[in-house]
Chain A
């Protein structure tokens, strides 16, 4: 018969903290990882997404290759490659410097870069389809009015495209936090990893997992709340996504 013991969270871990403290430190890493990766993904994704719609064929092809490679290799394989392979392929001094770094910093860096790049490929696709759905009309009208291409992008296409893709972008934001759990595979003690630590150190797997799951749900809801706020603030009345 299973022995429930919810007080376990307040118990000391034997290393100077409480188990609840461990959980929250894991949550902190997850949130930090998600946010850093998201910012990276937005910047890169927007750039690559735009690159896929410009007239220049070479740029389009390069951007296309970027997206295809990042979307067709599992995130976990990319993460392991970033963490284990990349430092080996760098010039020796740089590679060694990376490997000498604080292990948590190494893991965080590899995870943030990897998650950022992976998500940027997906955002790039959304940006591209957003811009393309405006293709004919808006672009030719803008150009006809005498705007140069970059101006057309900046003042007309991008603002509208952004609002169009806000729904899939929101879901991408929430996905980033879910995908962050992969970082536990290279040893980063984020939320999922702390869940396993708790199971290992206490013998209360149910409490540990329920707590971790609840925290992920809370995180998800918060992310949703944030995106709803952004959607409300940027709504253009009468336009496609206005509710």
Chain B
């Protein structure tokens, strides 16, 4: 019988774990916000009359949805950092690892959010857009003021579900030199020889947080069947 020893938890390890959790939350929040913004732009572009733009947006979404997140992270961590720094004009005092991780997650999630948003937009009756255009509103304005707000309400549960998935996926930042909650827990476990305890502890923490959030998502109301049908095809792992 394995002799459990959870004494490693406490003292110097708690601040380290807390730091890790901060990294996890920072990545989740940023990728959620940026992903939604970029995703919305992509969703709108895909419906645009300008064929080139629509095609590019579709290509982007299909590309990022066809490759593992692990590969995207490796790309941004090992190959791209300097490009990133000059492209975004970041001052090098910014931690390049965090910057690459944030960009990687945001770009990746944007593809998935764009599908959810598209489903959300599709769930808003066409009459709304037609009425807005009839009133003389340009398409983009109609999108912003009329369609998107309603779409967002419809797809809120799907967005929250995807956010929970994103929260769990932050554990993959293990491939880069950045230590999130899981990375710190694992490192402590490995160096102290108490890997079993730390892994079980990490699993429990993730479960507690994800489960509560998913209960909240369910509380947000059952999505209307129209959205659920199309959007569940959009949902990913």
Say if A and B assemble together: yes
Residues in A40-87 with C-beta less than 8 Å from chain B: 68-69, 71-78, 80-81, 84-85
CA distance A171 to B230 in the complex (A): 12
Is the beta-carbon distance between A75 and B199 smaller than 8 angstroms?
no
Given contacts A72-B210, A181-B71, 14 further A-B contacts (CB under 8 A): A71-B210, A77-B199, A81-B199, A85-B196, A89-B2, A119-B237, A126-B232, A168-B233, A180-B68, A182-B68, A185-B174, A206-B79, A213-B67, A217-B66
- Which residues of A lie under 8 Å from residue B171 when comparing CB positions? 74, 76-77
Decide if the interface of chain B is mainly helix, strand, loop or mixed: helix
Residues of B within 8 A of A (CB): 2, 63, 66-71, 74-75, 78-79, 164, 168-169, 171-172, 174-175, 182, 186, 195-196, 199-200, 202-203, 206-207, 210-211, 214, 225, 228, 232-233, 235-237
Question: Given A72-B207, A88-B2, A179–B168 Cβ distance below 8 Å?
Answer: no
Q: Scoring A residues 89 to 131 as 1 if CB is less than 8 Å from chain B, else 0, what string do you get?
A: 1000000000000000000000000000001001000100100
Give every chain A residue within 8 A of B214 (Cβ-Cβ). 68, 71-72
Contact status A184-B70, CB under 8 Å: yes
Cα of A75 to Cα of B167 in the assembled complex, Å? 12
Closest to A176 in B: B237
- Size of the A side of the interface (Cβ < 8 Å), in residues, is 47
Do A205 and B78 touch across chains, with their CB atoms under 8 A apart?
yes
Residues from chain B with a CB closer than 8 A to the CB of A217 are 63, 66-67
Out of A73, A77, A171, A184, which one reaches B236, CB within 8 Å? Answer: A171
Supposing A182-B70, A216-B66 touch, asked if A168 and B232 sit within 8 A by C-beta, the answer is: yes
Contact (A192, B68) CB under 8 Å given A71-B214, A76-B171, A182-B172: yes
When distances are taken between beta carbons in the complex, the residues of chain A under 8 Å from B67 are: 178, 213, 216-217, 220
Minimum distance in angstroms from A64 CB to a CB of chain B: 12
A73, A122, A126: the one within 8 Å of B203 (CB): A73
- Chain A residues near B (Cβ < 8 Å): 68-69, 71-78, 80-81, 84-85, 88-89, 119, 122, 126, 129, 133, 167-168, 171-172, 174-175, 178-182, 184-185, 192, 195-196, 199, 205-206, 209, 212-213, 216-217, 220-221
Q: Are B210 and A73 in contact (CB under 8 A)?
A: yes
Q: A184-B70, A195-B74 are in contact. Are A88 and B211 (CB under 8 A)?
A: no
Query: Which partner residue on chain A sits nearest B164 by CB separation?
Result: A72
Chain A positions within 8 Å of B174 at CB level: 76, 185
Residue on A nearest B228 in the bound complex, by CB: A129
Closest-CB distance, B64 to chain A (whole angstroms): 11
Q: In the complex, what residue of chain B is closest to A84 when comparing beta carbons?
A: B195
Most chain A CB atoms below 10 A, which of B78, B172, B203: B203
Contact in complex: A192, B199 (CB < 8 Å): no
Closest Cβ of chain A to B8, distance in Å, is: 15
Q: CB-nearest residue of chain A relative to B189?
A: A84
With A73-B207, A77-B199, A85-B199 given, is the CB distance from A167 to B233 under 8 Å?
yes
Q: Are A84 and B196 in contact (CB under 8 A)?
A: yes
